[in-house]
Amino acid sequence: MTTQYKKFTRLIAKWPVDNSKAERDLGKFIRDKVKAAFESNNKNNLDTEFCNRQYVSLNKLADNHYKNKYKRTNTSTATGLNTEECNVILSTEVLEYLKEENKGQFNRINIALSKRALATEAFRYKDHTPVLLNKVIKHLKPSDGDVFIDMTFGAGGHSRKILESADCKLITLDRDPIAFDKAQKLGEEYPNRVTPLLGRFSELPHLLKEKGIRQSSIDGILFDFGCSSMQMDNGERGFSVSKNGYLDMRMDAGRDPNQITTRDVLATANENDLYKIFKIYGEEKKAAKIAQTIIQARYMIKNVDTTHELVDIVDSCCPDEFRLDKLQRPQSNATKIFQALRIFVNNELNELNYGMVLAKYYLKLNGRLVTICFHSLEDTIVKRHIAGNIVNEVANPIPLRYLSPLLVQDQDTINQFLDTPWKAVNKHVEVPSDEEVERNPRSRSARLRAAIKIK
């Protein structure tokens, strides 16, 4: 039955939401039937043949088998469900069956399911929910008269809490014009306390200079790296695996006319470059095959233009795979590819490295730094800046354990690498509680580090 479940979720997840089909939704009809068949406690009553027939019919629809009978348009769908919703609904029914079939596995899946239901709730949030909010405040320790920089304003959840915590001043930065608008609105709520800036970390020195803000003048700096929910959940921005849209992924949203889009990358990069992007920034095990398929599609059919086209191409390279995320929830096969392209298009890791260098220059002595990372590529750079493994202000790609004087470097050079202006507040990263992850599943990969500038 697990196979049936996989087949159904993979198939139905391909069709995006279509609220206009509310009363004639084939997907709902089929789910009700499947549910009735699975709800029985007596597994002999399960109509596997029925499931198979429904699967074949759905597959024919997906393959446009009835193209002469029913004309399809780009926007026509058959289920009225998005990926998250269809995973929640189908797994509910399938669980009933699995409970009988395989009692040992049941508990694990049941836990995953309860989290899945919550995930769907969180998915409806419009604004970004700030992660690790109390821990951020605990480490920034806002006091009256302090000056902070929120380097990644987003929807301003952390910024608002900083402003509420003390009579302090706040400089906000974000490269996304939508976030900048929100920062300006927050400034109106807290007159004379907020200085909103629009730009990237790499533009910050020039932006601060214009405002007359000097180095070594800031009490606390916060980085909450990655994308906001407003970016991820807006299909038109092209970040989302589940929402269809043109593959854009520029956090700056066209602010910089020279910044390339993901579509440009997929239309122009050669196979080897695509492979390297997917392998290095996505740590994707099928990087070579996916790169080759994109190039083949480009030459034989068309450029990959939309998020769903990219998801379909990746799926075609992973026909028997059913990936799960850290919460054991079904995850699109394309998630890592999307992450890789997003990092590349936005030059995220270089920006992050530069941001860490700026934090060192702009914080006062004893100033507080707080960072929140969402994957190991980000966290490794932060960790090396704090612990010391920096060469010419760039996080060393080689881990410390390979820096032995017996190998290549002399002890003086190694000491230069290890010289750090930071004192880590915690030995290990801090992570969200189970309760926070349940409330806000997007916090699940968050890793917080805090450090004090000591020289």
- Interacting residue ranges for ligand SAM, rule: CB under 6 A: 128, 130, 152, 154-158, 173-176, 179, 200-201, 224, 226-228, 251, 351
Q: Which two tokens stand for residue 453?
A: 């500038």
| 3-state SS class at 13 | coil
Dist CA 34 CA 30 (whole Å) = 6
Q: Toward ligand SAM, which CB reaches closer, 99 or 375?
A: 375
Q: Toward ligand SAM, which CB reaches closer, 265 or 446?
A: 446
Q: What is the DSSP letter of 208?
A: H
Q: Which two tokens stand for residue 112?
A: 């995953």
Q: Do residues 244 and 308 make contact, with C-beta atoms less than 8 angstroms apart?
A: yes
Q: Toward ligand SAM, which CB reaches closer, 54 or 445?
A: 445
User: Least distance to ligand SAM from the beta carbon of 254, Å?
Assistant: 13
By Cβ distance, which residue is nearest to ligand SAM?
A: 154
User: Least distance to ligand SAM from the beta carbon of 281, Å?
Assistant: 14
User: Least distance to ligand SAM from the beta carbon of 149, Å?
Assistant: 11
User: Least distance to ligand SAM from the beta carbon of 412, Å?
Assistant: 34
User: Least distance to ligand SAM from the beta carbon of 210, Å?
Assistant: 16
Q: Toward ligand SAM, which CB reaches closer, 8 or 362?
A: 362
User: Least distance to ligand SAM from the beta carbon of 320, Å?
Assistant: 34
- Note the maximum CA span of the chain: 77
Name the nearest CA neighbour of 9 among 93, 108, 77, 65.
93
DSSP 378-444: HHHHHHHHHHT-EETTEE-SS-GGG--TTTT--HHHHHHHH--SEEES-SS-B---HHHHHH-GGGT
Q: Toward ligand SAM, which CB reaches closer, 14 or 175?
A: 175
Q: Toward ligand SAM, which CB reaches closer, 97 or 374?
A: 374
Instruction: Give the DSSP H or E segment for 195.
Output: strand 194-198
Task: Look up residue 352 and give its amino acid.
Answer: L
